[in-house]
C-alpha cells in the first residue's frame, strides 16, 4: 500500500512541477519603466491583448470560373505576405469555408491602417491621358467617348482635377519587381513610392513612354488616379514613381501592398472585432480579480463546512487550477475573456466532485463503517456518478468548441481541460491525501464535517404539480416578452450591425453623442453608458462604424477619446452565427439524450431533455425581460447551463438507480423521494459554490462578460430547481410498465 502511495505522490509532484515549468510566468512581467522583463507563457486571445479579428469574403463575381477556383488561396498568400511585411507578431491567416478568409492581428490597434493593408486590392495600372479638351468636355457632359473614361485626381494643392484616361491598361502591377518608399529631393522632401519593374515590364514601359512623349501617363491604383505626369522622354530603366500627397505611413503601406502583389479579386470585410489594449488589460485585471475572489470565497466555504476534508479539497482545487494553466500553456491553447470565465466556473464545478465524495463518505460512516472503509466505499460509489456527470458536461463543451468561434472556443477549451483535471484531482489527489492522513503517523479515525440537513424527508413529489404550474407561468411570461421583442432580442452577433465602445477623457452627454450619430447616419443606434460615466457602448444595425469614429473626432477632437472595441458583423455572417448557435444547442441536447438513454433508460433521457429545455427557455426569457441581448457569450452560457443542469440531474438519476436495487419493494415515488432527500445536501452545496463563483463573475468580471454571468446565475438557480422539481418528478408522470405509483 505504501509503495502505491509513494508512486502516486511522485506522480502528483511531477505533474505539479511540470505545470509550473510550462506556465511560469503565465503573463508578461513588466518592470516599473514599462519594459518587458519576461514574456508570459499563456497565449492570450485578441480580447485580452488587444488586436483585430477580420473575416473577409472574396468577391469572385467579376472573374472567370477558372480564376475563381484558386482565388481564395492566392488571396491568402498575398494577404499573409502583406501582414508579414507590416510586422505583426504571430498573425493568423486561414481559409474559412469556400471563399472566406479569417485574419487575426494580435496587438494591432490602428484599425483603418490594418484594414487598408489587408483589404486593398492593389491593382496597379498605367494608362495614357487624353490631351484633347473637346473630348474631355464631351465626357463631362455625359457623352460616351470611345476608349476613354473620366477620373478624378487630387492635385498637390489638394484640389481635384478631371482627367480623361484610356480604358485599356498599357502596363499593370503584375510586372513589378520591387517597390519602396522614398523622399522627393524637391520642396520639403515629400514621400513617394518608387517602382522597379522586371525585364519584361521595363521593355514595355520603355516602349510606352517612348511612343507617347509629350503626353501624360496616369498611374491608377484600384481605379483611382494618384498621379499623371507628362512623359518627357523614353524611360528604359523600368523605374517609375507614384506621388500623391502621401504621409510617410501611407507611402510605406502602399509600397507594402504593391510589393506583395495585387489580390486576384476584391475582398469585402464582412466581420470585424477590434479590441484596444486598454480594454484588453482591463479585462485581464478584472478576470484575474474575479478568479481570485471566487477562489478565496470557495476555499473559505469548503474549509469551514468540511473542516479537514475541506482543507484537502482546497489543496486539490489549487492544484486543479495549476494543472489547467499548465495544460493550456503546454498545448498552446489560447486564453480568452470567456476562457477566464470558464476558469472561474471550473472552480465552482470542480468542488462538486469532492462534495459528492465527502457526502458519500459521511453516509458510509453513518452506517457504522470505520474511516478507512468509509473512504474506500465513498470513492467507489461516487466514481460512476462523477464520471457520468462530468462526461455529459464535456459533451456540451466539445460541441461548443465545434460550433463556436474565437473567444467562445477559448471558453470551451478551458472548460474541457478543467473537467478532465478536476476529475483527476478529485479521484486521485483527494484520495491520496485522505490515504496519507489515515495511514501514516498518528492515524486519523474519524473526520468531522458540518451538515445542512441531518436526515431530511421532504415529500418533493407531493409538490410536483404546483411546481409544473410555476414553471409554465415563468416560461409563458418570458417567452411572451421574447416573442413580442422579436429581432430586438438579438445582438449584432446574430443580426448584423455594429457595436462600439468608447472611453472619453472628460464626461460627455448622451445628447451630444446622439447628435453625432444622427449626422453619421445611424440615428437608430442605442447608447449605453458604462459604469464610471466616461465610457459608452453604441449599438446599431448599421455597419458603417467609421462614420461614427470620424464624427466623434470632429465633434470632440482626435485625442478626446479612445476606441476600446469595435464589433462589425455583416448580415450574412449574423445569419450564419444564428444557425450555428441553434445547431450547437440542438446537437448538445441530442448528444446528452443519447448518453443518458444509454446509461439509464429512455424515459430518463426524455425527462432530462425536458428539464434542459425548461432551463434554456427560462434563461432566454430572463434575457428578454431584463432587456439584454442574445450574443455569442450568452449562447455559451446557455450551453454551459445545459451541461451544469444535466450534471445535477445525473447525480440524482444515479442515486435513483442505486436505491431501486436495494429498495425493490418500495414504490417508484418513495424511491425518487428518498433519492432526492439523500442528495439534497450535495445539490445545495454544489449550487451554492457555483452560485458564489458566478455572482463574483457578475459583480467583478467586467462589462464584456456581464451578460454571460447573468445568464449563468439564472441557469444555476433554474438548473437546481428543474433537477429536483422537473426531471425527477417527471419519471412518475412518464412511467415505465414496471413503475408502481401511489394513488
Summarize pLDDT for 622-646 with one digit per residue, the tens: 999 999 988 888 888 888 888 888 8
Residues 185 and 331 placed together within one structural domain of the fold: no
Question: What pLDDT score does 725 carry?
Answer: 92
142 vs 177: CA distance, rounded Å: 39
DSSP 278-337: HHHHHHHHHHHHHHHHHHHHHHHHHHHHHTHHHHHHHHHHHHHHHHHHHHHHHTTPEE-H
Q: Give the residue-averaged pLDDT of 495-519.
A: 86
Residues 171 and 231 placed together within one structural domain of the fold: yes
The whole-angstrom distance between residue 282's C-alpha and the CA centroid of its chain comes to 16
**Ranges 32-41, 618-627, 641-650: which has the least confidence:** 32-41
Final residue of a structural domain among 203, 228, 260: 260
What's the pLDDT tens digit per position in 221-269?
888 888 888 888 888 888 888 887 778 888 888 888 888 888 888 888 8
pLDDT exceeds 60 at position 402? yes
pTM: 0.79
Residue 223 in any domain: the answer is: yes
418 vs 345: CA distance, rounded Å: 9
Q: Give the residue-averaged pLDDT of 268-295.
A: 82
Final residue of a structural domain among 537, 569, 601: 569
Residue 309 in any domain: the answer is: yes
pLDDT exceeds 60 at position 737? no
480 vs 84: CA distance, rounded Å: 52
pLDDT exceeds 60 at position 387? yes
Count of structural domains, the chain: 5
Residue 743 in any domain: the answer is: no
Give yes or no for a contact between 316 and 430, defined as CB atoms under 8 angstroms apart. Answer: yes
Give yes or no for a contact between 728 and 672, defined as CB atoms under 8 angstroms apart. Answer: yes
Q: What is the CATH number of the domain that holds 560?
A: 3.30.70.100
Phi and psi torsions of 201, nearest 5°:
-65, -40
263 vs 96: CA distance, rounded Å: 17
Give yes or no for a contact between 420 and 642, defined as CB atoms under 8 angstroms apart. Answer: no
Residues 667 and 699 placed together within one structural domain of the fold: yes
- Tracing cell 518608387 back to the chain, one arrives at 194
511-532 burial code (b ≥16 CB/10 A, e <16): eebeebbeebebeebeeeebee
Within 101-235, residue ranges assigned H as helices are: 111-119, 133-140, 199-211
What's the pLDDT tens digit per position in 452-490?
777 788 899 999 999 999 999 999 999 999 999 988 888
Residues 320 and 429 placed together within one structural domain of the fold: yes
The separation between the first and the last C-alpha atoms of the chain, rounded to the nearest angstrom, is 53
- Cα dihedral 158/160/166/168 (nearest 10): 60
Q: How many CB atoms lie within 10 A of CB 544?
A: 12
Question: What pLDDT score does 34 carry?
Answer: 65
Residue 384 in any domain: the answer is: yes
Question: What pLDDT score does 741 carry?
Answer: 41
What's the pLDDT tens digit per position in 106-133?
888 788 888 888 888 888 889 999 988 8
pLDDT exceeds 60 at position 187? no
Residues 443 and 318 placed together within one structural domain of the fold: yes
Give yes or no for a contact between 330 and 22, defined as CB atoms under 8 angstroms apart. Answer: yes
pLDDT exceeds 80 at position 192? yes
Between 694 and 451, the higher pLDDT residue? 694
Residue 616 in any domain: the answer is: yes
Which segments within 431-525 are labelled E, that is strand? 497-504
Residues 727 and 644 placed together within one structural domain of the fold: yes
Peptide bond into 552 cis (omega under 30): no
The cell for 261 is: 502583389
Give yes or no for a contact between 552 and 502, defined as CB atoms under 8 angstroms apart. Answer: yes
**By C-alpha distance, which of 198, 176, 201, 154 is closest to 254?**
176
Give yes or no for a contact between 707 and 635, defined as CB atoms under 8 angstroms apart. Answer: no
Residues 504 and 634 placed together within one structural domain of the fold: no
Between 725 and 440, the higher pLDDT residue? 725
Q: Give the residue-averaged pLDDT of 16-26.
A: 89
What's the pLDDT tens digit per position in 403-461?
776 677 888 888 889 889 999 998 999 999 988 888 765 566 778 888 777 778 889 99
212 vs 2: CA distance, rounded Å: 95
**3-state DSSP helix/strand/coil % of the chain, to nearest 5:** 60, 15, 25
Per DSSP bridges, beta strands 92-95 and 43-44 are unpaired
What's the pLDDT tens digit per position in 127-169?
999 988 888 888 888 888 888 899 988 777 677 888 999 888 8
CA distances 139 to 110, 127, 133, Å, are 40, 17, 10
The whole-angstrom distance between residue 500's C-alpha and the CA centroid of its chain comes to 17
Q: What is the CATH number of the domain that holds 469?
A: 1.20.1640.10
Residues 300 and 321 placed together within one structural domain of the fold: yes
691 vs 721: CA distance, rounded Å: 13
Residue 267 in any domain: the answer is: no
Question: What pLDDT score does 740 carry?
Answer: 44
Residues 470 and 509 placed together within one structural domain of the fold: no
Question: What pLDDT score does 345 carry?
Answer: 75
195 vs 170: CA distance, rounded Å: 16
**By C-alpha distance, which of 118, 81, 386, 424 is closest to 259?**
81
Farthest CA pair distance, the chain: 110
Give yes or no for a contact between 115 and 79, defined as CB atoms under 8 angstroms apart. Answer: no
Per DSSP bridges, beta strands 334-335 and 43-44 are parallel
Percentage with pLDDT > 70 across the chain? 96
Residue 72 in any domain: the answer is: no
Q: What is the CATH number of the domain that holds 130?
A: 3.30.1360.200
pLDDT exceeds 70 at position 508? yes
Give yes or no for a contact between 394 and 644, defined as CB atoms under 8 angstroms apart. Answer: no
DSSP 216-263: EEEEEETTEEEE--B--S--TT-EEEE-SS--HHHHHHHHHHHHH---
The whole-chain average pLDDT of the chain stands at 85
Region for 507 from its dihedrals, namely left if φ exceeds 0, alpha if ψ lies in -120 to 50, beta otherwise: beta
Residues 467 and 558 placed together within one structural domain of the fold: no
Give yes or no for a contact between 287 and 337, defined as CB atoms under 8 angstroms apart. Answer: yes
Percentage with pLDDT > 90 across the chain? 15
Residues 252 and 312 placed together within one structural domain of the fold: no
What's the pLDDT tens digit per position in 536-565?
888 887 767 778 888 888 888 888 888 888
**By C-alpha distance, which of 278, 361, 301 is closest to 561?**
278
The whole-angstrom distance between residue 511's C-alpha and the CA centroid of its chain comes to 32
Residues 402 and 293 placed together within one structural domain of the fold: yes
Range of the domain at 18: 2-42
Give yes or no for a contact between 672 and 679, defined as CB atoms under 8 angstroms apart. Answer: no
Per DSSP bridges, beta strands 51-58 and 100-106 are antiparallel
Residue 270 in any domain: the answer is: no
Strand-pair partners of 269:
56
Question: What pLDDT score does 736 carry?
Answer: 57
538 vs 731: CA distance, rounded Å: 48
pLDDT exceeds 90 at position 95? no
By three-state DSSP, how is residue 739 classified? coil
Question: What pLDDT score does 443 carry?
Answer: 64
Q: What is the DSSP letter of 490?
A: B
Amino acid at each position: 500500500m505504501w509503495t502505491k502511495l509513494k508512486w502516486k505522490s511522485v506522480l502528483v509532484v511531477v505533474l505539479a512541477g511540470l505545470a509550473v515549468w510550462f506556465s511560469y510566468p503565465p503573463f508578461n512581467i513588466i518592470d516599473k519603466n514599462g519594459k518587458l522583463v519576461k514574456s508570459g507563457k499563456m497565449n492570450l486571445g485578441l480580447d485580452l491583448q488587444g488586436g483585430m479579428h477580420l473575416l473577409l469574403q472574396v468577391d469572385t463575381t467579376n472573374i472567370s470560373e477558372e480564376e475563381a477556383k484558386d482565388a481564395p488561396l492566392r488571396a491568402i498568400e498575398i494577404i499573409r505576405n502583406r501582414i508579414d511585411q507590416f510586422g505583426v507578431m504571430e498573425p493568423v491567416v486561414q481559409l474559412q469555408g469556400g471563399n472566406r478568409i479569417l485574419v487575426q492581428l494580435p496587438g494591432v490597434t490602428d484599425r483603418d491602417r490594418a484594414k487598408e493593408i489587408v483589404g486593398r486590392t492593389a491593382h496597379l495600372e498605367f494608362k495614357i491621358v487624353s490631351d484633347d479638351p473637346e473630348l474631355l468636355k464631351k465626357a463631362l457632359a455625359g457623352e460616351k467617348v470611345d476608349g476613354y473614361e473620366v477620373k478624378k485626381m487630387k492635385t498637390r494643392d489638394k484640389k481635384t482635377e478631371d482627367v480623361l484616361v484610356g480604358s485599356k491598361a498599357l502596363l499593370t502591377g503584375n510586372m513589378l519587381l520591387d517597390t519602396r518608399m522614398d523622399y522627393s529631393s524637391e520642396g520639403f522632401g515629400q514621400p513617394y513610392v518608387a517602382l522597379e519593374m522586371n525585364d519584361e515590364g521595363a521593355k514595355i514601359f520603355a516602349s510606352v513612354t517612348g511612343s507617347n512623349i509629350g503626353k501624360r501617363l496616369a498611374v491608377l491604383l484600384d481605379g483611382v488616379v494618384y498621379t499623371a505626369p507628362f512623359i518627357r522622354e523614353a524611360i528604359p530603366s523600368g523605374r517609375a514613381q507614384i506621388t500623391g500627397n502621401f504621409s510617410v505611413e501611407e507611402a510605406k503601406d502602399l509600397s507594402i501592398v504593391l510589393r506583395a502583389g495585387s489580390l486576384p479579386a476584391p475582398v469585402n470585410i464582412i466581420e470585424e472585432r477590434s479590441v484596444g489594449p486598454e480594454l484588453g488589460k482591463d479585462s485581464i485585471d478584472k478576470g484575474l480579480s474575479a478568479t481570485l475572489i471566487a477562489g478565496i470565497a470557495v476555499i473559505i466555504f469548503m474549509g469551514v463546512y468540511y473542516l479537514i476534508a475541506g482543507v484537502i479539497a482546497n489543496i486539490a482545487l489549487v492544484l486543479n487550477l495549476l494543472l489547467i494553466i499548465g495544460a493550456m500553456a503546454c498545448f498552446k491553447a489560447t486564453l480568452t475573456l470567456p476562457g477566464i470565465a470558464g476558469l472561474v466556473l471550473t472552480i465552482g464545478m470542480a468542488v462538486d466532485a469532492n462534495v459528492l465524495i465527502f457526502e458519500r463518505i459521511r453516509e458510509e460512516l453513518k452506517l457504522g463503517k470505520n474511516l478507512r472503509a468509509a473512504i474506500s466505499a465513498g470513492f467507489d460509489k461516487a466514481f460512476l456518478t462523477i464520471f457520468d456527470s462530468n462526461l455529459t458536461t464535456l459533451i456540451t463543451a466539445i460541441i461548443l468548441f465545434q460550433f463556436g468561434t474565437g473567444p467562445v472556443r477559448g471558453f470551451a477549451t478551458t472548460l474541457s481541460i478543467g473537467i478532465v483535471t478536476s476529475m483527476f484531482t478529485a479521484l486521485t489527489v483527494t484520495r491520496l491525501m485522505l490515504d496519507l492522513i489515515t495511514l501514516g503517523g498518528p492515524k486519523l479515525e474519524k473526520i468531522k464535517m458540518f451538515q445542512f440537513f441531518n436526515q431530511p424527508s421532504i415529500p418533493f413529489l407531493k409538490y410536483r404539480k404546483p411546481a409544473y404550474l410555476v414553471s409554465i407561468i415563468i416560461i409563458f411570461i418570458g417567452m411572451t416578452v421574447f416573442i413580442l421583442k422579436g429581432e430586438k432580442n438579438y445582438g449584432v452577433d446574430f443580426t448584423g450591425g455594429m457595436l462600439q465602445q468608447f472611453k472619453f477623457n472628460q464626461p460627455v452627454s448622451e445628447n451630444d453623442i446622439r447628435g453625432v450619430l444622427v449626422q453619421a447616419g445611424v440615428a437608430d443606434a442605442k447608447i449605453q453608458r458604462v459604469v464610471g460615466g466616461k465610457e459608452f457602448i453604441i449599438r446599431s444595425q448599421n455597419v458603417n462604424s467609421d462614420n461614427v469614429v470620424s464624427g466623434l473626432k470632429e465633434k470632440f477632437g482626435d485625442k478626446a477619446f479612445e476606441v476600446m472595441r469595435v464589433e462589425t458583423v455583416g448580415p450574412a455572417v449574423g445569419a450564419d452565427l444564428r444557425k450555428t448557435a441553434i445547431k450547437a444547442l440542438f446537437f448538445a441536447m441530442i448528444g446528452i439524450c443519447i448518453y443518458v438513454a444509454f446509461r439509464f433508460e429512455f424515459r430518463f433521457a426524455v425527462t432530462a431533455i425536458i428539464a434542459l429545455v425548461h432551463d434554456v427557455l427560462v434563461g432566454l426569457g430572463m434575457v428578454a425581460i431584463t432587456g439584454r441581448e442574445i450574443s455569442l457569450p450568452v449562447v455559451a452560457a446557455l450551453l454551459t447551463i445545459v451541461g451544469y443542469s444535466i450534471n445535477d440531474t445525473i447525480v440524482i438519476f444515479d442515486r435513483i438507480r442505486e436505491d431501486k436495487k436495494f429498495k425493490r419493494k418500495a414504490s417508484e415515488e418513495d424511491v425518487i423521494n428518498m433519492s432526492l432527500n439523500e442528495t439534497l445536501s450535495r445539490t445545495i452545496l454544489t449550487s451554492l459554490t457555483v452560485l458564489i463563483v458566478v455572482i463574483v463573475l457578475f459583480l467583478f468580471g467586467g462589462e464584456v462578460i456581464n451578460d454571460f454571468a447573468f445568464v449563468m446565475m439564472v441557469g444555476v438557480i433554474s438548473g437546481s430547481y428543474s433537477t429536483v422539481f422537473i426531471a425527477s418528478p417527471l419519471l412518475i408522470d412518464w412511467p415505465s410498465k414496471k413503475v408502481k405509483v401511489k394513488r
